[in-house]
């Protein structure tokens, strides 16, 4: 298993090894309704999803970093946004990273796929479908939010502070929970940890 982990991270190393010698940041905003659906696909970089201060818009702020001066010019974006659905895609070379902060109405379902990077979803009350190959996943759940189904798993890593029961598995960890709530939460990482916390009512 140690050899498998080493091979995995060697394969992803070009995606994860960016530094900040060269960086460029861009932002974009769209009108968007609460209760909509947002999808984000990214090769390498960290992602933070938080509630927007203005619940009638979504916005994306992305920072492109690399050790190569021409990296940002090679990053391609495909943003297809309507009033209730958003499909946000990044295509980039392996010699850099794209860190993303996504602000959406709290009542939004989010679908995120990242090849290598840490993912944080904070204060979102909709369905949450989150996957990365190499990286940690962190959920900050709003107080009182309820789920009808929770599936969380990691092949190499731990699941900590779960409010959905004790994780199972001797190699990696997994949780399967059925409840009486409104939303579904799915999280998977091949190599990384999954953590949960509850936002205080004052935040």
pLDDT tens digits, one per residue of 5-33: 444 544 454 454 444 689 999 999 999 99
**Could you tell me where the beta strands, DSSP code E, fall in 67-192?**
76-81, 85-91, 96-104, 109-116, 119-122, 128-134, 137-141, 147-156, 159-160, 173-178, 183-191
pLDDT digits (tens, 9 = 90+) for 123-173: 999 999 999 999 999 999 999 999 999 999 999 999 999 999 999 987 789
In a domain, 203, yes or no: no
In a domain, 37, yes or no: yes
Measure the CA–CA gap between 165 and 63, rounded to whole angstroms.
Answer: 37
Q: Total domain count for the chain?
A: 1
Domain coverage including residue 82: 2-198
Residue 202, pLDDT score: 39
In a domain, 65, yes or no: yes
Q: What pTM does this model have?
A: 0.88
In a domain, 43, yes or no: yes
């Amino acid at each position: 298993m140690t050899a498998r982990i080493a091979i995995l991270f060697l394969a992803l190393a070009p995606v994860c090894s960016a530094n900040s010698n060269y960086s460029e940041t861009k932002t974009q905003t769209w009108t968007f309704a609460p209760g909509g659906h947002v999808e984000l696909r990214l090769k390498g970089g960290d992602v933070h999803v938080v509630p927007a201060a203005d619940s009638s818009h979504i916005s994306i702020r992305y920072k492109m970093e690399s050790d190569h001066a021409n990296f940002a010019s090679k990053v391609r974006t495909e943003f297809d946004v309507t009033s209730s659905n958003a499909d946000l895609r990044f295509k980039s070379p392996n010699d850099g990273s794209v860190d993303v902060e996504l602000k959406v109405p709290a009542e939004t379902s989010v679908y995120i796929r990242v090849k290598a990077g840490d993912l944080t979803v904070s204060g979102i009350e909709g369905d949450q479908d989150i996957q990365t190959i190499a990286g940690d996943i962190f959920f900050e759940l709003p107080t009182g939010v309820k789920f009808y189904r929770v599936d969380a798993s990691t092949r190499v890593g731990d699941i900590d502070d779960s409010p959905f029961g004790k994780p199972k598995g001797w190699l990696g960890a997994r949780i399967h929970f059925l409840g009486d709530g409104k939303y579904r939460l799915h999280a998977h990482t091949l190599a990384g940890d999954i953590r949960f916390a509850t936002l205080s009512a004052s935040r």
